[in-house]
Amino acid sequence: MDSAPPQASRRDMLVTGISTRLAAIAGAVLLALFLVNVAQIATRPITGGWIWVNDLSRLLVTWVIMIGASAAIGLREHLLVDFVVQRAPAAFRTVSALVVRALEVGIGFILLVSGAAVAMNRMDIQYIQLGIPTGYAYLAVPVLGLFMVLFGVLMSLQGQQPTDVAEGGEAK
């Protein structure tokens, strides 16, 4: 007899909805980064290049990574989550899932608080070519921390229960 997969809770659906939107934002920013750099390459022979592209690329790469990591955590696609919980003995899977969740929330809180402090300190240092504060790039770190804490608190453990894993790492 087939057992139906557990019904997703409202909290899980909320996290999935937010995470899907974050993934779309990360994809859009990555596309913008790609297009700006392709345009830079294409126009370099004509205009001599745009010197501000390097600073903008650094800013956008930081945001792509942090927003993408936020989406991965919310969609349960982050490697650490699956690896640790699935490799735990069956009797300790719930405990290991709780420990992983507590670590996620703790690290998220550290990123939120410390990242905000660093971002505020960097607001006085500007990108040379863009003329905007480098703190805007560092703001991506507390944003990741915020989503780590939010998702860690909202996600139920039920949706994270792995299938049985054989000794070689294959699903049984």
Query: How many degrees, rounded to 5, is the angle at CA 80 between CA 21 and CA 114?
Result: 70
pTM of the model: 0.77
| Region class of 169: left (phi > 0), else alpha (psi between -120 and 50), else beta | left
Q: Which two tokens stand for residue 35?
A: 């297009």
Which of helix, strand or coil describes residue 165?
A: strand
pLDDT digits (tens, 9 = 90+) for 16-37: 899 999 999 999 999 999 999 9
| Region class of 19: left (phi > 0), else alpha (psi between -120 and 50), else beta | alpha
Q: Which residue has the higher pLDDT, 92 or 145?
A: 145
Instruction: State the pLDDT at residue 82.
Output: 65
With tokens 């930081």, the residue in question is 62
Give the pLDDT band of residue 91 (cuts 50, 70, 90): confident
pLDDT at 164 over 50: no
| Region class of 78: left (phi > 0), else alpha (psi between -120 and 50), else beta | beta
Find out whether 157 and 104 touch, Cβ atoms under 8 Å. no
pLDDT at 48 over 80: yes
Q: Which residue has the higher pLDDT, 2 or 59?
A: 59
* DSSP sequence for 5-72: PPPPPHHHHHHHHHHHHHHHHHHHHHHHHHHHHHHHHHHHHHH---TTHHHHHHHHHHHHHHHHHHHH
89, 104, 110, 79: which is closest to 157 by C-alpha? Answer: 104
pLDDT digits (tens, 9 = 90+) for 122-149: 999 999 999 999 999 999 999 999 999 9
pLDDT at 116 over 90: yes
Q: Residue 18: which residues within 8 A CB-CB, separation 6 or more?
A: 74, 147, 150, 151
With a pLDDT cut of 70, the percent of the chain lying above it is 83
